Structure 1
Amino acid sequence: MSDRTAKFSVLCSLFNWMQRSKSSAKKRSKFRKFLDHFCKSGEFFSAIRLILPSLDRERGSYGLKESVLATCLIDAVGMSRESEDALRLINWRKGGAKTGANAGHFSLVAAELLQRRQGMTSGGLTIKELNDLLDRLAFSENRAEKTTVLSDLIKKTNAQEMKWIVMVILKDLKLGISEKSIFHEFHPDAEDLFNVTCDLKLVCEKLKDRSTRHKRQVCACFQS
């Protein structure tokens, strides 16, 4: 299955499972199964860049911290910034009865807001389509353009998927599994090569075959 056909909803299911699981070993095993079943074509980068968004250097900064992202999401769904839901998202850090149980968790507050407008039916967004839209989001030069891209994402997803997309944009998935563990399950030499190159795409392309080891000196040659 390639990134052109693999649905982002499958990746969301992996994220949900990993977030709920308390066992690091089970998380690693589940991630390995995902790679084996849904990345059979050898196209790993498109999925792994979503799993490790903070390490993805191919895509530039989105220029969207929580405060700006909040107003863009509000505008993307056509909501008044003075509405109760909008103020709840804008003031997502604040606790109290008006902000609800998810106060302090931006992505959860956003998902709660979006669920009332999106529902839970997936739009069938593929991993490739998501990456293309995230590229557009990163390259957008102003807030209006970013809002348009977010509106397109909202139309193609459900609230649960948008929750994870928001976390990708903020570059923090909170999966409870380390980058080291992700690298090790992908390939035993992945962490070494990344530490030398800081290039996630190169790591995914050079280490497609987990059974083939790359000596440290081979990894080091990429540094020059």
Structure 2
Amino acid sequence: HPAPTTPAMAATVRFGLLVAMFQAMTRDRTSAKKRGRLRTFLDRAYGASGRDDYFSALRLILPSLDRERGSYGLKEAALAAALVEALGIAKDSPDAVRLTNWRRGGGGRNAGNFSLVAAEVLQRRQGMTSGGLTIKEVNDALDRLSASDTRSEKASVLSSLIKKTNALEMKWLLMIIIKDLKLGISEKSIFHEFHPDAEDLFNVTCDLKRVCEKLNDRSQRHKRQDIEVGKAVRPQLAMRVGNASSAWKKLHGKPVVAECKFDGDRIQIHKNGEEIHFFSRTFLDHSEYTSGMSKFIKENILVDRVYFGWGDACLGHCA
């Protein structure tokens, strides 16, 4: 067992240690091995004395669940343009074309995988020597990236990261930014390795930071928490099946009724006195709905529904 870390040591955990875990996970064939890697990383990097800092790592492992940081405003196309600017290469250069055409042949053998295409381009410029960034420094840089308004500002943050990382670290940073790590391990498994009660607590709070703070001792079980009005709750989703035949088999020959499905937005409405929230399925609070909807909701309530418009102007259903 590794020696326990002190809080000061926890703040200096290298991002490269996390990247090494990611790389190993992509090679592991079984979920059990991947889970073991995560447990080893958490014990080695944070130990008993560094537990207060678990959130700094888990927000990078589960980036799609992190609500403390705002949106980066960078899907693959915008990220490609910002990278071209960050690298200072001409827009019509072969590497710039490869980045902007990452979905098609411009990406070569890695076409269709943005992070691998970008890593190919970066490797020719960065090499493999790590700059030694800590997880804290990475999070600070990502905070600056999300706070940047213009593409030039975002390119400046990316340029700084490129100078302080190697191509492998930058590849994983880009995957964190687009929130798609492709680790081959479920969110459920990650939560369970962190703490046996982590998934249950997240499902009723949708707050990763709170989960990390409350459950920083894996040996202590957490009393099941009730749903709170005003705190987003993870919505239940239907099981995904590949085709209609698979869905039909699940019904075991029972009679069914089919009805027209209107397409709208999944919304969770929380009202408590004057306080009202409209949470999306990704736990974002859409305050812009308040003026149009709040007057129709009189009672204190927590309801999970699909929200869509209906009116004469659009001859019925308005998506």
TM-score, length-normalised on structure 2? 0.67
Q: Does 2:21 match 1:11?
A: no
Of residues 214, 220, 223, the one that matches 2:226 is 220
Q: Does 2:95 match 1:116?
A: no
Deviations 1:74-105 (A, max 9, x none): 1101111100011011000003xx53111110
Of residues 92, 95, 98, the one that matches 1:82 is 92
CA distance in structure 1 between the aligned counterparts of 2:77 and 2:93, rounded to whole angstroms: 16
* 1:39 CA displacement: 1.3
Q: Structure 1 segments of 4 or more deviating over 4 A?
A: 221-224
* 1:146 CA displacement: 0.5
Structure showing greater Rg: 2
Q: Does 2:175 match 1:167?
A: yes
| Matched-pair identity in % | 66
* 1:215 CA displacement: 2.0
Higher strand share: 2
Amino acid at match of 1:116: R
Q: Which has the higher contact order (CA 8 A, sep 6+)?
A: 1
CA distance in structure 2 between the aligned counterparts of 1:167 and 1:49, rounded to whole angstroms: 13
* 1:5 CA displacement: 1.0
CA distance in structure 2 between the aligned counterparts of 1:30 and 1:127, rounded to whole angstroms: 17
Amino acid at match of 2:221: R
User: How many residues are treated as equivalent by the alignment?
Assistant: 220
* 1:221 CA displacement: 6.2
Aligned ranges 1:194-209 → 2 under 5 Å? 194-209=202-217
Structure 1 unmatched ranges of 5 or more: none
CA distance in structure 2 between the aligned counterparts of 1:203 and 1:222, rounded to whole angstroms: 15
CA distance in structure 2 between the aligned counterparts of 1:157 and 1:166, rounded to whole angstroms: 12
Amino acid at match of 1:16: Q
CA distance in structure 2 between the aligned counterparts of 1:60 and 1:6, rounded to whole angstroms: 24
CA distance in structure 1 between the aligned counterparts of 2:212 and 2:189, rounded to whole angstroms: 15
Paired position in structure 1 for 2:142: 134
Higher helix share: 1
CA distance in structure 2 between the aligned counterparts of 1:101 and 1:125, rounded to whole angstroms: 30
- The answer to whether the 8 Å contact 2:60/2:176 transfers is yes
Amino acid at match of 1:220: D
CA distance in structure 2 between the aligned counterparts of 1:24 and 1:68, rounded to whole angstroms: 33
Structure 2 unmatched ranges of 5 or more: 231-319
Amino acid at match of 2:196: P
The Cα RMSD (Å) is 1.2
CA distance in structure 1 between the aligned counterparts of 2:70 and 2:127, rounded to whole angstroms: 31
Q: 1:140 to 1:101 in 2, by over 3 A?
A: same
- The answer to whether the 8 Å contact 2:205/2:227 transfers is no
Of residues 47, 58, 66, the one that matches 2:57 is 47
- The answer to whether the 8 Å contact 2:66/2:208 transfers is yes
Paired position in structure 1 for 2:262: none
Amino acid at match of 1:5: T
CA distance in structure 1 between the aligned counterparts of 2:162 and 2:107, rounded to whole angstroms: 22
